[in-house]
Amino acid sequence: MILRRFTFRFAGSLILVLSCAAFAKTNSDSRLGKSYRFDRGGWIYVHLEGSPSNIGYQHGYLLAPEIEDAFQSVRLTDTHNTQRDWKFFRKTAREILWPHIESEYQQQLQGIADGLKTTGSKLDLWDVVALNAFEEVPDYYVPWLNKKEAVLNPPSLHAPGNCSAFIATGSYTKDGKIVIAHNNWTSYLNGERWVVMFDIVPQHGNSMLMDGFPGVITSDDDFGVNSSGIMMTETTLTQFRGFDPKGIPEFVRSRKALQYANSIDDYVRIMKQGNNGGYANDWLIGDRKTNEIAYLELGLKHTPLWRSKEGYFVSSNFARDPDIIKEETDFDPNNLGTSPNARHARWEELIQQNRGKIDVAMAQQFLSDHFDSYQNKEEANERALCGHSDTSPRGIELWDWAPYFPGGAVQGKATDSDMAGKMQLMARAGHPCGADFHAKEFLAQHPEFAWQVPLLRDMKAGPWTEFKSGDRENSQTGADQSKETRRKLKSAAQPKAPSADRKNTGD
């Protein structure tokens, strides 16, 4: 008995020593370079720096627990909605996406897989690539493929309508410079995990500060600034149709645009080059060097561009170009009761009412707004800028969101020209209005969403929080690294299962 007890204790101690030694070894890995992470205000701030493969490795290593968790959410959502298994998504990643990804981003994606592997994760390169395409494959490629293959009784899949955003300049803002803001609309299942603040200093191109999803190389809800003064965001084009399997994945083009654009023209050119139609968006772009703003409606056949140094653009998932509406979407701009059109009306009202007063603080109020322009009353529902579809008996049929679907605005961001010049932005995790979502209570009332158990969890709103490039936790908290972060990193080391003045329609 004594011998068995000693043997057990010795074995346990040996495992602990070996695991700590392995963690110490990987933690001193030269590939980690100057990278680090910390938690603040409900966000995970991650600094990545170096070559493409090293930035990827840092990403995979430092965010391993969050990537594993986010992967489970994406896999569940994608397989449930498309009625295709994960092998299909891996095959798509390998055969459709990978051949059209340029070397720099192939290296970065492989780096993420390598960083994950160091922590004991079983996720591999094709899981990582499929994860990066979690917006464009299920809602764009799969409907195109179902039609091409004449699939009988395919699931209803429509391009979603994620996000509310605006950009303004000139006489519309308090200081005459650019103000830009955005809240991310998506399912709570994915949205409650969309809380990473990436600070990236690549070997080539511009430094970037952007929000993002664990394991994904681009922002993906797309809000960020770069060191050349470019400010950008977007909202998706509701009910968009079209996909080109020979094109460059959207997650690659959007990452490249933020990294390498030094002007609005650069950004537009990169987004249009190799356009595959995946994750079709209205892009709101600003250049703090000139205080010019632009609105790129990036369809597949049509890509109109509006620009202005005096005015604003608002976006809430509506298409504005007649050709795109007619030829590339099923969107009805005249149905004022739909979420995109109701929010469009509210955006116009807010911007006009506050002309000359708009700043970052006011932008935060806009993102928190609960006014339903269709019913002409305050109500936190699917028509409000701060969306709460989980309260709506109507749901959002346009996006296949059933009544009371657990989705809506899951976080918000805002910045202006002066802040962007310092690579700064404000962000709030959770509903921008500050309301919390309680998963247990919701599921008890709506058992029709039981398929999301056990991955659906509480989504608590954090405070509006400032972030900047090169930020450190002790700049606000005085701590070197939070206990929770150290716990996660140690765990990761263990093996474990508008108005505008000009339009340019040159395609």
Q: Is the pLDDT of residue 504 over 60?
A: no
pLDDT computed for residue 27 by the predictor: 57
The secondary structure of residue 370, as a DSSP letter, is -
Section 278-283 average pLDDT:
96
Section 384-389 average pLDDT:
98
Residue-wise DSSP of 239-298: TB----TTSB-HHHHHHHHHHH-SSHHHHHHHHHTTB--TT-EEEEEEETTTTEEEEEE-
CA 378, chain centre distance (Å):
28
Q: Is the pLDDT of residue 7 over 60?
A: no
Q: Is the pLDDT of residue 506 over 50?
A: no
Which range, of 43-47, 71-75, 155-159, 314-318, averages the lowest pLDDT? 155-159
The model's pLDDT over 293-309, given as tens digits with 9 standing for 90+, comes to: 999 999 999 999 999 99
Q: Is the pLDDT of residue 492 over 70?
A: no
CA distance linking residue 152 with residue 349, whole number of Å = 45
pLDDT computed for residue 21 by the predictor: 35
Place of tokens 């410079």: 177
pLDDT computed for residue 139 by the predictor: 95
Mean pLDDT of the chain, nearest integer? 90
Q: Enumerate domains of the chain plus CATH numbers.
A: 162-483 (3.60.60.20)
pLDDT computed for residue 152 by the predictor: 85
Angle between helices 483-492 and 64-82 (to 10 degrees): 70
Nearest 5°: the CA angle 169, 172, 177 is 35
CA distance linking residue 259 with residue 200, whole number of Å = 9
**How is the beta sheet containing 311-315 ordered, strand by strand?**
311-315, 164-169, 179-187, 407-416, 424-429, 465-468
CA distance linking residue 273 with residue 276, whole number of Å = 9
Closest Cα partner for 119 from 13, 260, 19? 19
Section 495-506 average pLDDT:
37
Q: Is the pLDDT of residue 40 over 70?
A: yes
Give the model's confidence band at 8: pLDDT under 50 very low, under 70 low, under 90 confident, else very high: very low
pLDDT computed for residue 17 by the predictor: 33
Which range, of 94-103, 313-322, 378-387, 485-494, averages the lowest pLDDT? 485-494
The secondary structure of residue 149, as a DSSP letter, is T
Q: Is the pLDDT of residue 165 over 60?
A: yes
- Three-state SS across 12-34? HHHHHHHHHHHHHHHHCCHHHCC
Give the model's confidence band at 487: pLDDT under 50 very low, under 70 low, under 90 confident, else very high: low
Place of tokens 């995946």: 278
State the amino acid at position 350 in one-letter form.
Answer: L
Task: Kindly state the percentage of the chain with pLDDT values over 90.
Answer: 84
pLDDT computed for residue 20 by the predictor: 36
Task: Kindly state the percentage of the chain with pLDDT values over 70.
Answer: 88
Cis geometry, peptide bond prior to residue 454 (ω within 30 degrees of 0): yes
In contact, 324 and 302? CB cutoff 8 Å: yes
The model's pLDDT over 126-158, given as tens digits with 9 standing for 90+, comes to: 999 999 999 999 999 999 999 999 988 888 888
Give the model's confidence band at 174: pLDDT under 50 very low, under 70 low, under 90 confident, else very high: very high
Task: Go through 339-352 and write b for each residue having 16 or more CB atoms within 10 A of its CB, e for each that does not.
Answer: bbbbbbbbbbebbe
Q: Is the pLDDT of residue 190 over 90?
A: yes
Which stretch of DSSP H or E encloses residue 54? helix 52-62
pLDDT computed for residue 161 by the predictor: 80
Section 442-456 average pLDDT:
96
Task: Give phi and psi for 468, each to the nearest 5.
Answer: -150, 160
Residue-wise DSSP of 180-243: EEEEEEEEHHHHTT--EEEEEEESSS--EEEEE-TT-SS-SS-EEEETTSEEEEEEE-TTB---
The model's pLDDT over 62-103, given as tens digits with 9 standing for 90+, comes to: 999 999 999 999 999 999 999 999 999 999 999 999 999 999
Q: Is the pLDDT of residue 227 over 50?
A: yes
The secondary structure of residue 465, as a DSSP letter, is E
